[in-house]
Amino acid sequence: MMRLPLTSALALCVSACIAPSVVDPADRARLVDPADRTWAAAGTDDVPGVYVSTHLTGAVSNVLLKVVYLFEADGNYTGAALVDTAPPHFEVISGAWRMVGEKLVLDAADPAGVEIADDRSLRITGDQGQVVLRRELSQ
Amino acid sequence: MMSKPFQILGALALLAWTGVGAFMWMEVKNHLTVTIEETSDGQSDEAALLADRMAALSDDLDSLIAALDGNFALVGQAIGQGATDQAVRSAVIEQRLEQLEAALPDALQARETASALRVSLAQVETILRLANEQAAVQTNAALVLHEGDSRIEPDDAALTDIPAPADPLEEPPAVAEATEPAAPAATKTSFLAFKLPSRDFQFDGEQTFEILGDLSRVGFDAKSTLHDFSGVSNLVSGNFRVDLAHPDRGLSGSVSVKTKSLSTDLEGRDEAMLEHLGAEEHPTLQFVFESFAASSVDAEARTLAGTVTGQMTINGTTKTLEMKITAHVDESRRLVVEGEAPLSRADYNVHVPGKLGLISTDDEVRIWIHLRSRAKAEKAR
C-alpha cells in the first residue's frame, strides 16, 4: 500500500529535476547563419591564411560545392573549387591578390567586398553571390 | 587845241611800229630755212625687232616640232611596247582561262564535297552544342518534356547566358541554320576568380535532389509522464526525384537515418530507445517516397506544399505514412523541405514499457524532417 505514494513522489521529484527537451519547430534547421556573426571591413593584413568555404549563397551556389583558398602575405594565392558538374570536378587556380580600397581583387576578376568576422572568418561578396570562408590552420 | 597834234603823233607812231614789224618779219623770213625730211628710223627698229622675234619664234617652233617628233616617236614606241605586253598578257589570261575552264568541273566537284563536309561539320557542331547545353543545364534536362515556365532571377542574369535547352521532341535544327559556328558552353569568370559553368536553379523540370546530410535533421517529439522530449539525428542521407512545378507527376526516392544516430540528449534514455528500436538488427530508419499530392505550387515564389505518401520502415516494420510538407528554395539555391506527421509506435512494434507503473510514454509521437537538398548536376542525355 505504501508503494504507490512512494513511486508517485519519486516520479514527481524526477520530473521536477529533468527539464523538457523538445526541439522548437523553429530550431529544427541545422544551419549556422553567418549573419549572426559580427562583420567588419577587412584590411590587407586580414587576408593571408588558409580558408575553406562554409556558406555559399547567390548564383555561385548553383555550381560551387566547396571552395578552398590559400592567400599568402606576398600577394600570391591559390584556390580550388569543387564544381558541381556531372561528375563534379575541382578547378584549381593560382595568381595574385591585392586589396583595392576595401575590395579584394583576384587577378582579373571583378573586385569583391571582403569582410572579416570576430572568429577571423572571411566573407567575400561579389555580384554573383557571397561566400563565407572559415579560417583553417596550415598543416 | 593840243589833242590834235597828239592824235597825229600817235597815228604816225602806229604806222612806224607796223612798218618795223613788217620789216622784221621779212628779215626773219629770209634768214629762216625750214627743212622737212622724212625720218623713219624708229619704225625700222621696231620692224627689225619684230623680225627678230619672229625668227626666234620660228626657231622655237622648229625645236618644239623636233622635240614633239621625238616624243611622239617615244610615245609611239611605248604604245607599241604596251600593246605588245598587253597582247602577251591577254594571251596568258586566255591560256589561264582555258586552264580554269578545264579545271572547272573538278573545282565544282570539290566544292560540292566541301559543302557536304561543311554540312557534316555543322551537324557535329550542333550535336556538340546541344550536348554542352544539356550538360550545362543538366538539372533541367527533364524540363524540356514540359511546357517551360522557368524564370531567371535578375541577380542570376550574369550566370545565365546559356540558351534554353532545346526540346528533344522538336525536329533537329536545319542544316542551313547549323552552318553558324556553335557557341561553346558558357563559362564566366566569377568574382572568386574561378571559371564556372552557367546554371541557375530550375523550379520547373524533373530533377534529382541530393539531401545534404550536414545541413539536415530529422527527429521526433514524444510525450512522457515525466516530461516531453525530442529525439534528433543529424546522420541523414538520401535523394529524391521530382518536378517541383508539377510534383503530382511523380515522386521517387528515399530518406535514410542511422538508427544509432538518434539522440534524446539523455544517455540512459537513448540506450532504452535504441534497444526498443532494434538498432542492432535494423540499423537504418527509412522513408521511401511514393507520391505527392500538392496543395499549392508557386513557381514564381519557388514554394510548394502538399502531402507526401510513402513507406516508412522502423524497427524492421514497414507501414504507409503520409506527411504534410512544405518546400522552398533558400538563398543558397537549396531546396528546403520541412514536414511532420503523427506516428504510432505500436504500428512499428516499438513498445516502451512503463517504469515504476507511473512513468510512461505516449504511443503517438510526431516525427519531423528538416531537409536541405541541392539539385544534382546531371549528364546530358
Q: What is the pLDDT of residues B55-98, one digit of tens each?
A: 888 888 888 888 888 877 787 787 777 777 777 777 878 888 88
CATH number of the domain enclosing B363 = 2.40.128.110
Is B230 close to A22, i.e. CB distance below 8 A?
yes
* Nearest-CA distance B166 → chain A (Å): 19
Angle at B141 between CA B140 and CA B143, to 5 degrees: 65
Residue B246 shares a structural domain with residue B359: yes
* Chain B residues whose beta carbon lies within 8 Å of the beta carbon of residue A107: 193
* Chain B residues whose beta carbon lies within 8 Å of the beta carbon of residue A56: 332
Is the CB of residue A117 less than 8 Å from the CB of residue A130? no
Res. B159: pLDDT tops 60: no
Claim: this prediction has a pTM higher than 0.90: no
pLDDT tens sequence across B228-271: 889 999 899 999 999 999 999 999 999 999 999 999 888 888 88
Residue B220 shares a structural domain with residue B164: no
Residue B131 shares a structural domain with residue B159: yes
Strand ranges in A46-138 using DSSP code E only, listed in sequence order: 49-57, 64-71, 76-83, 89-100, 103-106, 112-117, 122-126, 129-136
Residue B220 shares a structural domain with residue B365: yes
Minimal Cα distance from B330: which residue of A? A57
Q: What is the pLDDT of residue B201?
A: 84
Cell of B195: 571559371
Minimal Cα distance from A113: which residue of B? B191
Q: What is the pLDDT of residue B164?
A: 36
Domain final residue pick, B191, B218, B240: B191
Quick one: average pLDDT of B147-153? Answer: 35
Domain final residue pick, B136, B167, B191: B191
pLDDT tens sequence across A64-73: 999 999 999 9
Q: What is the pLDDT of residue A35?
A: 65
Could you say which of B158, B265, B378 has the minimum Cβ distance to residue A128? B158
3-state secondary structure of B227: coil
* Nearest-CA distance B97 → chain A (Å): 56
Q: What percent of chain B has pLDDT over 70?
A: 75
B140 within domain boundaries: yes
Q: How crowded is residue B301: how many other Cβ atoms within 10 Å of its Cβ? A: 11
Could you say which of A20, A109, A111 has the minimum Cβ distance to residue B190? A109
Cell of A97: 591578390
pLDDT tens sequence across B308-326: 999 999 999 999 999 999 9
Quick one: average pLDDT of B157-162? Answer: 35
Minimal Cα distance from A111: which residue of B? B191
Residue B134 shares a structural domain with residue B268: no
Domain final residue pick, B163, B191, B219: B191
Task: Tell me the residues of chain B between 255 and 314 that have a Cβ less than 8 Å away from chain A.
Answer: 264-266
Residue B256 shares a structural domain with residue B323: yes
B34 within domain boundaries: no
Q: What is the pLDDT of residue B139?
A: 41
Is A81 close to B194, i.e. CB distance below 8 A?
yes
Residue B115 shares a structural domain with residue B240: no
Considering the segment(s) A6-13+38-138 as one domain, its CATH architecture is Beta Barrel (2.40)
More confident residue, B292 or B34: B292
* Nearest-CA distance B243 → chain A (Å): 18
Q: What is the DSSP letter of B67?
A: H
* Chain A residues whose beta carbon lies within 8 Å of the beta carbon of residue B268: none
Q: Where are the alpha helices (DSSP H) in chain A?
A: 3-17
Is the CB of residue B166 less than 8 Å from the CB of residue B128? no
Is B356 in CB contact (< 8 Å) with chain A?
yes
Residue B248 shares a structural domain with residue B126: no
B365 within domain boundaries: yes
Work out how many domains chain B is built from and give that number.
Answer: 2
* Chain B residues whose beta carbon lies within 8 Å of the beta carbon of residue A31: 215, 372
Cell of B316: 524492421
> Which residue range is the domain that position B156 belongs to?
64-191
β-pair type (B236-243, B229-233):
unpaired
Is B192 close to A79, i.e. CB distance below 8 A?
yes
Residue B186 shares a structural domain with residue B245: no
Cell of B259: 538508427
pLDDT tens sequence across A81-133: 999 998 999 999 999 999 999 999 999 999 999 999 998 999 999 999 999 99
Angle at A32 between CA A28 and CA A38, to 5 degrees: 140
Residue B125 shares a structural domain with residue B229: no
* Chain A residues whose beta carbon lies within 8 Å of the beta carbon of residue B196: 60, 63-64, 81, 83, 91
The CA distance from A130 to B5, in Å, is: 156
* Nearest-CA distance A72 → chain B (Å): 16
